[in-house]
A and B are shown apart, each in its own frame.
Chain A
Amino acid sequence: MSATEASGKPQASAGGIGIANLPNQLHKIVTKKGTNFSLMVVGESGTGKTTFINTLLTTELIEPLDDATRRKKQLDKTVDINIHKAELEEKMFSVKLNVVDTPGFGDYVDNNDCWLPVVDFIENQYEQYLRQEQQPVRKGIVDMRVHACLYFIRPNGHTLKPLDVRAMKAIGARVNLIPVIAKADTLSPTALRQFKKRVMDVIDAQSIRIYQPPVESDDDHSTQRNQDIISAVPFAIIGSTQEVKTEDGRRVKGRQYPWGVAEVENDQHCDFKKLRSLLIRTHMLDLISTTEESHYDKYRTTQMKTRKFGEPKPKKSENKKFREEEEALRKRFTEKVKLEENRFRQWEQKLIAERDRLNKDLEQEHNLVKQLESEIEAISNAGSPNNKFFRK
């Protein structure tokens, strides 16, 4: 260490001291440990979230719902959070993948505040991690912090809906938000370009924070690739787990229309490859580190400014449905209490009346006794053998 301190630049002796071997050691450690990645998909039902996840992982992680469950969900009016866990392994490196699905988002007539369960979930994960870090024993921390959130935009050809704007604003402030245009094969290329531009205009005008991958890199190839990726935001994707045959005889993953085949992995048809590269191949580490460093840190700072060390988070149940239920329960409770109080009061009245009556009886008896006593006295005082007094 003294060599570096003295000159600022490490003076490597002929064989070196072995610092250059550190990356290999790190590689071994990380390969053994594996990593943990949480991805969240948010969007209206029917935008292709399930299909996209299954296409991305080339395996059916999430099964599509059947009719009965879907019908029950239709009238449920709540947004659920479903977590699917999978462990992927490729070339001896394992990743614990968590996919968070949000059925019910934006599906109802009244979609006010439907992004609140999503935002609450994200913040709860930060909270859990914060609490676990503050425990005396820190081994075995469960880390479910969301590293990336894909927001599926329905391609209506015009612009973003108010629901999309409000939800993306709320989500983008807390997590890495990646906007995605779902079912991109419903728009023609010109329409798609125009739609992308309109979406970006709205994102800029409404100051929605989306994930910006770092552009500059060590080699030109990566820089160019990063620039390509950034220019394609929002990513237009097609999802398909089926293989179809194209006109020129290739078997590809795609969707077969009467007029041709839309291929998933063809860059001219959609941006699936770019998005997959962003999520897994090239920028997964950056997604994880930005979540842990900036988003989580922001949360931690704001929380620690207002709370003492080790104190639990004050609960605020803003869910309208819960509030209504709470009100109903409270009303029932007060009514019951009132009923019981009335009953007790009546009982009390009865007891008082009973007591008074008994008191009166007692007094009567008392008076009678007194009378008799006075008679006895009179008799004993008089002492006369006259029977008249007895006959009273």
Chain B
Amino acid sequence: MSARMATARPSSYRHKSEKRGMTYNIMLVGQSGLGRRTFLNTLCERAVIASPDAPNPETANVADPMKFDTYEVAMEEEGTRISLTVIDTPGFGDGLDNTSCFKQLQDYIEAQFDEVLVEESRVKRNRRYRDHRIHVLVYFIAPTGHSLRELDIELIRRLGEYVNIIPVIGRADSFTVEELDAFRSNVMRDMLYYKLPVYNFCWDETDSEALAENREIMEHIPFSVVTCDEVYDNEYGS
């Protein structure tokens, strides 16, 4: 989260954004138990999302519907201010029939686009308008050890047209080193096979220095993530 992020932009924009603070909207999507909440807490280095209450065993046979929870975090580092908005989607993929989840996500993202369109088309625009469009969607893949599942494929295929998707392997500590490599190459093969639209880090072909760096980043897709809420004294902690 350092100022390196803004190198590709013209300096006047950087100056302006430094003063005002950039808005950055991230959406976290994935089944429950893959570490979305912990990922966010680790990223922001503090407990943004609290632990959920103990689930009620009486209602365990009925799935919770998908919700959109918005969390706003103001972060500052080396003079750069970012007002980060994170949208969490608990309930995604947890029910018996999950075909409606895609439509809900699509509707939500389109609603943000519509809002911006309406605002842009106004004669008199609001100077302090907050842009709620999702800049990046972090999708958590379950560590099955084999390859992508139908849910993963469908989600990336449908939403890749609307938003930048970065695939991430959640709970990667359930793999040994060899298994992780094997799983990662399986996922990459599946992505090529199904032609899934993930975010291409190498969008700027002209800047050779950034290109080399970006190519290296792309080799790590899908990123494997291990996050933790608590600090232990010894080594044993996931």
Contact = CB atoms under 8 A, between A and B. Distances in A.
A158 B52 contact: yes
A258 B238 contact: no
The CB with the most chain A CB atoms within 10 A, among B33, B143, B173, is that of B33
B193 interface: yes
Contacts of A185: 174
A112 B31 contact: no
A163 B96 contact: yes
Interface string A144-163: 00000000001111111111
A342 interface: no
B57 A70 contact: no
Nearest to B190: A71
Contacts of A205: 57-58, 60
A58 interface: no
B149 interface: yes
B98 A110 contact: yes
Contacts of A187: 238
Interface string A7-50: 00000000000000000000000000000000000001111100
Interface in B127-161: 142-151, 153-154
B235 interface: yes
A198 B237 CA distance: 21
Given A46-B144, A110-B99, A111-B97, A75 B174 contact: no
A202 B60 contact: yes
Contacts of A163: 96
A158 B150 contact: no
Query: On chain B, which size bracket covers the interface?
Result: 35 or more
A258 B175 CA distance: 10
B171 interface: yes
Q: At the interface, is chain B mostly helix, strand, loop or mixed?
A: loop
Given A67-B189, A156-B34, A257-B176, A109 B150 contact: yes
Interface in B174-226: 174, 176-177, 186, 189-190, 193
Contacts of B99: 109-110
B18 interface: no
Interface in A53-72: 65, 67, 70-71
Contacts of B186: 67
Contact of B31 (A48, A156, A166, A169): A156
Interface string B30-61: 01111000000000000000001011011011
B63 interface: yes
A356 interface: no
A162 B31 contact: no
A256 interface: yes
Contacts of B52: 158
Given A188-B236, A255-B176, A71 B96 contact: no
Nearest to B142: A46
A108 interface: yes
Contact of A109 (B55, B98, B143): B98
Contacts of B177: 256-258
Nearest to A163: B96
Nearest to A114: B96
Interface in A237-268: 255-260
Contacts of B95: 162
A198 B54 contact: yes
A288 interface: no
A201 interface: yes
Contact of B237 (A157, A188, A204): A188
B62 interface: yes
A112 B34 contact: no
29 contacts: A71-B193, A74-B150, A75-B150, A77-B150, A107-B149, A109-B97, A109-B98, A109-B154, A112-B96, A112-B97, A154-B33, A156-B34, A157-B33, A158-B32, A158-B52, A158-B55, A161-B94, A162-B60, A162-B61, A162-B94, A162-B95, A166-B96, A186-B171, A186-B173, A188-B237, A198-B57, A206-B57, A255-B176, A256-B177
Interface of A: 44-48, 65, 67, 70-71, 74-75, 77, 107-112, 154-163, 165-166, 169, 183, 185-188, 191, 198, 201-202, 204-206, 255-260
Interface of B: 31-34, 52, 54-55, 57-58, 60-63, 94-99, 142-151, 153-154, 171, 173-174, 176-177, 186, 189-190, 193, 235-238
Given A74-B150, A108-B149, 20 more contacts: A45-B144, A70-B146, A108-B151, A109-B97, A111-B96, A112-B97, A156-B34, A157-B33, A159-B55, A159-B57, A162-B61, A165-B61, A166-B96, A183-B174, A201-B57, A205-B58, A206-B57, A206-B58, A206-B61, A257-B173
